[in-house]
Amino acid sequence: MAQLIQDSRTDQTSQVLAVHGGDKVRTIPFPGYRTIGDEEKQAVSRVLDSGVLSQFLGCWHESFYGGPEIQAFEREWATFFGVKHAITVNSATSGLYAAVGALGIEPGDEVIVSPYTMSASATAPLVYNAIPVFADIEEKTYCLSVESVEQRITERTKAIIIVDLFGLPYDAKGINALAKKHGIKVIEDCAQAPGARYNDQYAGTLGDIGVYSLNYHKHIHTGEGGVLVTNNDTLAERLKLIRNHAEAVLPGKYPDPNDWTESNLTNMIGFNYRMTEVDAAIGREQLKKLPKLLEARQNNVNYLNQALGKIPCIQPTTLREEATHAFYIHPIQFNADVAGVHRDVFINAVKAELSPTNLRSGEGVPISTGYVKPLYLLPMYQKRQAYGTGGLPWSLPEYTGSVSYEAGLCPVAERMHTDVLFLNNLIHPELTQADLDDVIQAFQKVWDNRTQLGQGEPAV
């Protein structure tokens, strides 16, 4: 069935889909996303030459706050994002845990979370024996919906962990008003949206505490790492205590036991969430590169959307009027009624036309369907087994609610996962216009030849 034609780009008759043995639109790998260069090498050398790879001390001492690179990185991060405090940590996951702790969330409290996100932004409350309550997402933006969050609020609700999913800031006006009305705190998981704007503010600074990720997959990275931000002095200090062995630090910090008030001891088991001087030095260089990296992504997405938007079964995601999008991932909706085939069959055929990227070739063609399965369907929630085998923390006497994790709980998230949404990662700044044209051509070819689909291509 395979056709003997060298270049499908120059021969109109070669239209057998690659998924059926036809020639691919592209066989050579796409460029990889690489943000590390000479600037980072020099920064790392500076730290290695100093011999001090971390200067943190887990006791009350001036080095409790870390060494020169950590402190400079935190100042620069706070200045860039226009926020009072930035606190580095060793991952955004650690940052989310620290944020829940800093807010004084207690066993049996409820925290409203998204089912459609990286797992840590939903499981963080469990670290403090609090109960994650899943609300549904918005149809168009995939961030938590104000209406659904409101329906989930009870007298036990203490916080919302909201995610700027795929790079779009959450509905800060709606959610923040709701939080204020009910006396609830907002933790903003901004791992995917560094540099996105909401009116005149940066994403990450819209809630009480914001969390950024610096893991290898994110816009800018230090290998692993994260940064917390807040404008609240007390929260900033609590975050720093949780980062660095709080229980051992507090007696030195507050020599008078009368200062050991209930609030400064609550949730003060300290972890080691410290970032190294090496990572901080890399982060300082990465931060300088963020604006350009972001702009290139936005331009690439605009270019793709103009062409892909003309394909009838494809609908690029709309933006919020008040916001810009950081495009960690390029989210796109698929209309199976128009295409005549299921999303997965179509996208599988598109992927068959394309090649992986350098640096991450083992991960295949970076286009995927569905994002994550709604998190409440994970075994931990279905079996209510976070700590031990006795149903903790849901079985705690402190927990007086009755949270549901049943299938069907968040219908929008479920539909996005199974039928509607697909995600394109071929948007990063290293891609040329010719690379993007290959992506467009792959989609166009599958659309033009869609009648071949559903006739025996490999199962997805």
Ligand X SMILES: *Cc1c(COP(=O)(O)O)cnc(C)c1O
Residues in contact with ligand X by the rule CB under 6 A: 91-93, 117-118, 120-121, 163, 189, 191-192, 213, 215, 226
29 φ/ψ angles, rounded to the nearest 5 degrees: -60, 150
Judged by phi (left if over 0) then psi (alpha if -120 to 50, else beta), residue 153 lies in beta
- For residues 447 and 337, give the distance between their C-alpha atoms in angstroms, rounded to a whole number: 13
Cβ 343 to ligand X, closest distance in Å?
A: 22
Cβ 211 to ligand X, closest distance in Å?
A: 7
Contact 126, 393 (CB under 8 A): yes
- For residues 425 and 298, give the distance between their C-alpha atoms in angstroms, rounded to a whole number: 12
Cβ 163 to ligand X, closest distance in Å?
A: 5
CA dihedral 7, 8, 14, 18 (to 10 degrees): 110
Please tell me what DSSP assigns to residue 104: T
Burial of 427: CB neighbours in 10 Å, binned 0-12, 13-18, 19+: buried
Cβ 330 to ligand X, closest distance in Å?
A: 15
Q: Which is nearer to ligand X, 218 or 445 (CB)?
A: 218
Judged by phi (left if over 0) then psi (alpha if -120 to 50, else beta), residue 105 lies in beta
Extract the tokens encoding 192.
Answer: 């995917």
- For residues 363 and 374, give the distance between their C-alpha atoms in angstroms, rounded to a whole number: 22
Judged by phi (left if over 0) then psi (alpha if -120 to 50, else beta), residue 13 lies in alpha
Q: Which is nearer to ligand X, 206 or 354 (CB)?
A: 206
- For residues 185 and 345, give the distance between their C-alpha atoms in angstroms, rounded to a whole number: 42
Q: Which is nearer to ligand X, 137 or 341 (CB)?
A: 137
Q: Which is nearer to ligand X, 124 or 436 (CB)?
A: 124
303 φ/ψ angles, rounded to the nearest 5 degrees: -60, -45
Cβ 335 to ligand X, closest distance in Å?
A: 26
Q: Which is nearer to ligand X, 142 or 394 (CB)?
A: 142
- For residues 344 and 460, give the distance between their C-alpha atoms in angstroms, rounded to a whole number: 7
Q: Which is nearer to ligand X, 215 or 305 (CB)?
A: 215
Q: Which is nearer to ligand X, 19 or 120 (CB)?
A: 120
Cβ 262 to ligand X, closest distance in Å?
A: 30
Cβ 160 to ligand X, closest distance in Å?
A: 14
- For residues 429 and 35, give the distance between their C-alpha atoms in angstroms, rounded to a whole number: 9
Q: Which is nearer to ligand X, 14 or 215 (CB)?
A: 215
Longest dimension (CA), the chain: 84
Cβ 214 to ligand X, closest distance in Å?
A: 6
Cβ 21 to ligand X, closest distance in Å?
A: 37
| Tally: H helices and E strands in the chain | 15, 13
Q: Which is nearer to ligand X, 308 or 326 (CB)?
A: 326
Q: Which is nearer to ligand X, 225 or 393 (CB)?
A: 225
| Residue 165 Cα distances to 177, 202, 298, 326, angstroms | 20, 14, 15, 10
Contact partners, residue 258, CB within 8 Å, separation at least 6: none
Cβ 437 to ligand X, closest distance in Å?
A: 29
> 189: helix, coil or strand?
strand
> Within 13 Å of residue 59, how many CA atoms lie on the same side as its CB?
2
Cβ 408 to ligand X, closest distance in Å?
A: 24
- For residues 162 and 298, give the distance between their C-alpha atoms in angstroms, rounded to a whole number: 23
Q: Which is nearer to ligand X, 16 or 191 (CB)?
A: 191
